[in-house]
Amino acid sequence: MNIRSKTLAVATLGCKVNQYDTDAVLTQFLEAGYTVVDFDEKADVYIINTCTVTNMGDRKSRQMIRRAYRNNPSAKVVVMGCLAQTSPEEVGEIEGVNLIVGTDQRGRILELVESLEITQRESLVEDIFAVRDFEELSVTDFAGRTRAVIKIQDGCNQFCSYCRVPYARGRSRSRHPQNVIDHVESVVRGGFKEIVLTGIHLGLYGRDLNPPVTLESIIQQIADIPGVLRLRLGSIEPHEITDQLLELVANNPVVCEHLHIPLQSGSDRILERMRRSYTTGEYREIVEKVRAEVPELAVTTDIIVGFPGETEQDFLETMEFAEEMGFSRLHVFKYSKREGTPAASFPQQIPNKVKNIRSKRLIKLGHSMAQDYHRLFLGKTVYVLVEEVRDGMAEGLTNTYIRSVFPTSYGEELVGQIIPIRAIKADKQGILGECV
């Protein structure tokens, strides 16, 4: 009799939400006695959680699927997530794929893997727009020992003209508040100090529930749970920053002084074509309003360069606007033409060469803004949640999301603690400090 436990290898492409979904599937397999091995080892089961936000996401997802089959041609290969949802036929044609699951019904993966024969191919992908309920799955947290990422919402109803996400994730659906609270309480018992709330379109949280609840109310409830020392919010759209939310960021010591507000472009002409629902003027007004209450607020953002029709003038407006906003961190995306989205058929698609140049310029500006932001803290005390201690140096993040290092005579026992340090040096990477 073979008593060796079965092995599982996973690969996750893309965002934090995908990471969470992978963890939920991993939880099922661990509970069933599987052992997790490295992706390049010979495993019995491979799971690839795919991304389709850009062409690069598609390409990397396909690469990982092929790699799984190469690593062990007699393994069962499961492909889940956004690319599987939008292109199940294409995924099904890749050699070795046994099970295709989209962005729902992830709870059935284990059962199906166990019952499928290696020669079989099954698809669970269905019309995602028909799915109206948040798929509640339990998650044991492995991702790290300091920050627990908790998904509370899935889907997006906004349909920005460049974005494939709504087709991959379906309508907005929210996790029941009691399940959110229970989950947070369990990770706090597990020793986590920081909770990161995540979703595909977090600002829509609660609107689909009956009775509806608000994002602000769930934030307040989580912040009230003893043991939650930090609460960080994922991406939030400008018009979703209400006075109540501002109040929480400004006055609740648990809520991080950090907002990720996607800008996408600093040109009003382009914003309109992107079908974004704000102007640069409105964006500025919101950031100024929050900064009036929280002067040291960290504002991070996503910007797309090379959207169809983006002129040099539009791009310069983006550069100028970004500089004016003083972002502490930029995520720069080169526009990627996504099949099925309106912008894919817009005229004046921008050549790759131009996208590359614009991306480099903007990334450079991002680095200089990061450095300026980090320098604001020189000589001041910041609080670092320690993630790692190595060679006498501790490393972690401040509540304003600044990567910080400082020398220490302590070891691993510092991990998970929040330590005050004085910032003595700052560069584009972060802060060097000393214990106070």
Report the residue number, 147 or 338, with the smaller CB distance to ligand 5AD.
338
Q: Which two tokens stand for residue 292?
A: 């009036």
Closest CA to 215 of 169, 170, 259, 163: 259
Distance CA 106, CA 322 (A): 39
SS3 at position 21 = helix
Distance CA 233, CA 198 (A): 7
Contacts with ligand SF4, 180-209, as mask; x by CB under 6 A: --------------------xx--------
Contacts with ligand 5AD, 53-82, as mask; x by CB under 6 A: xx----------------------------
User: Cα separations (Å) of 341 from 8, 23, 220, 225, 267?
Assistant: 35, 30, 37, 42, 21
Residue 262 within binding range of ligand 5AD, rule CB under 6 A:
yes
The overall longest dimension of the chain from CA atoms, in Å, is: 71
- 304 interacts with, out of ligand SF4, ligand 5AD, none, CB within 5 to 8 A per kind: ligand 5AD
Q: Give all strands of the β-sheet with 230-233 in edge-to-edge order.
A: 147-151, 194-198, 230-233
Distance CA 100, CA 350 (A): 34
Residue 338 within binding range of ligand SF4, rule CB under 6 A:
no
The DSSP call for residue 414 is G
Report the residue number, 5 or 55, with the smaller CB distance to ligand 5AD.
55
Residue 241 within binding range of ligand SF4, rule CB under 6 A:
no
The count of residues interacting with ligand SF4 (CB under 6 A) is 9
Residue 304 within binding range of ligand 5AD, rule CB under 6 A:
yes
Distance CA 428, CA 416 (A): 24
Residue 319 phi, psi dihedral angles, 5° rounding? -60, -50
Shortest spacing between CB 154 and ligand SF4, in angstroms: 11
Q: Where does this chain touch ligand SF4 (CB under 6 A) — which range of 1-9, 93-101, 157-165, 184-192?
A: 157-165
Residue 159 within binding range of ligand SF4, rule CB under 6 A:
yes
Residue 160 within binding range of ligand SF4, rule CB under 6 A:
yes
- 201 interacts with, out of ligand 5AD, ligand SF4, none, CB within 5 to 8 A per kind: ligand SF4
Q: Where does this chain touch ligand 5AD (CB under 6 A) — which range of 283-291, 332-340, 382-390, 394-402?
A: 332-340
- 183 interacts with, out of ligand 5AD, ligand SF4, none, CB within 5 to 8 A per kind: none
- 218 interacts with, out of ligand SF4, ligand 5AD, none, CB within 5 to 8 A per kind: none
Residue 129 within binding range of ligand SF4, rule CB under 6 A:
no
- 335 interacts with, out of ligand SF4, ligand 5AD, none, CB within 5 to 8 A per kind: ligand 5AD
Residue 291 burial (C-beta neighbours within 10 Å; 0-12, 13-18, 19+): middle
Residues 6 or more apart whose Cβ sits within 8 Å of residue 37: 7, 8, 9, 43
Distance CA 66, CA 60 (A): 10
Query: Would you tell me which residues interact with ligand SF4 (CB under 6 A)?
Result: 156, 158-160, 163, 165-166, 200-201
Query: Would you tell me which residues interact with ligand 5AD (CB under 6 A)?
Result: 53-54, 162-163, 262, 264, 302, 304, 333, 335-336, 338
